Amino acid sequence: MKVLLLGGTGEARELAGLLSGAGVDVVSSLAGRTTDARVPVGEVRVGGFGGAGGLAGWLREHSVDAVIDATHPFAANITANAFAATREIGTPLLVLRRLGWIAEPDDDWHWVETASAAAELLPELGKRAFLTIGRQGLDAFAGTGLWTLARCVDPPEPRPTWCTLILARGPFTLVDEETILRDHGIDVLVTKDSGGPATAAKLTAARRLGIPVILIRRPPLPAGVAVVETVAEVVQWVMRASHSPST
């Protein structure tokens, strides 16, 4: 059985190892935007496909039996393309979406739909902001007038002059996060609802320091797409499919 694994996440790297180890022919796909990306084991291809049509062509050309979308919850374009392409050619698709974060009683969380809505709300909640939303969407915060610290894996191009940048890649510990919040006198945090443990420590740190958090909601998944929440469920799905008579 041949599987295309759309990646760029820790879960996708884990899946590449597990599925390859189980004898599945896996090709991992990375967008190729991050320098020094952590590369999964096994066969890897890098770069866009050229939209849904290009992806459908690639799937046909490489005789792919199933597609696993294990991309980040905010990578909505590739997910929409995977849905459209697999529908067009009748290839099974499974989306892995880790659970979003859930507030605890002491949390002061404010949910918004977009980065622009987060920027609009920000001045009501604090004066020194910490943005942990990656590079995309940073520009929306350029006009808040607040002192702003932004953390990204790679520097935005062009490099913004209106904020202080930290370049770092998770996972981050609670000590890391409390130190950043304290050292920079942060009084409001902005994050996307990425979910997962690798970047959750900032939420615990904010709770412990009594700092409000603005959370940007995930984009919706395509209606009717098959979705699971864990790596184990993906492995089960692939094993079932690989033993079915049609593959």
| Interface contacts to ligand NAP, rule CB under 6 A | 6-9, 29-31, 33, 48-51, 54-55, 71-72, 74-78, 81, 134
DSSP for residue 27: E
Pick between residue 30 and residue 187 the one whose CB is nearest to ligand NAP: 30
Q: Which residue of the chain is nearest ligand NAP when measured via CB?
A: 48
Residue among 84, 67, 73 at smallest CA distance from 28: 67
> Least distance (Å) from ligand NAP to the CB of residue 75?
3
Pick between residue 24 and residue 85 the one whose CB is nearest to ligand NAP: 85
Q: What is the dihedral of CA 116, 117, 118, 124, to 10 degrees?
A: 120
Pick between residue 28 and residue 242 the one whose CB is nearest to ligand NAP: 28
Pick between residue 187 and residue 190 the one whose CB is nearest to ligand NAP: 190
> Least distance (Å) from ligand NAP to the CB of residue 79?
6
- Tokens at 218, concatenated: 């995930």
Report the distance separating Cα 187 and Cα 111, nearest Å: 17
Pick between residue 8 and residue 92 the one whose CB is nearest to ligand NAP: 8
Beta strands in 124-244 (DSSP E): 128-132, 147-152, 164-167, 188-192, 213-216, 227-228
> Least distance (Å) from ligand NAP to the CB of residue 118?
14
Report the distance separating Cα 216 and Cα 113, nearest Å: 6
Pick between residue 72 and residue 187 the one whose CB is nearest to ligand NAP: 72
> Least distance (Å) from ligand NAP to the CB of residue 147?
24
User: Up-side HSE of residue 11: CA atoms within 13 Å toward CB?
Assistant: 25
> Least distance (Å) from ligand NAP to the CB of residue 54?
6
Pick between residue 96 and residue 125 the one whose CB is nearest to ligand NAP: 96
> Least distance (Å) from ligand NAP to the CB of residue 106?
27
* H/E element, 2: strand 2-6
**Residue 237: what residue type?**
W
> Least distance (Å) from ligand NAP to the CB of residue 95?
12
For CA atoms 83, 87, 91, 92, the dihedral sign is: positive
Residues with Cβ within 8 Å of residue 19, at least 6 apart in sequence? 3, 5, 26, 235, 238
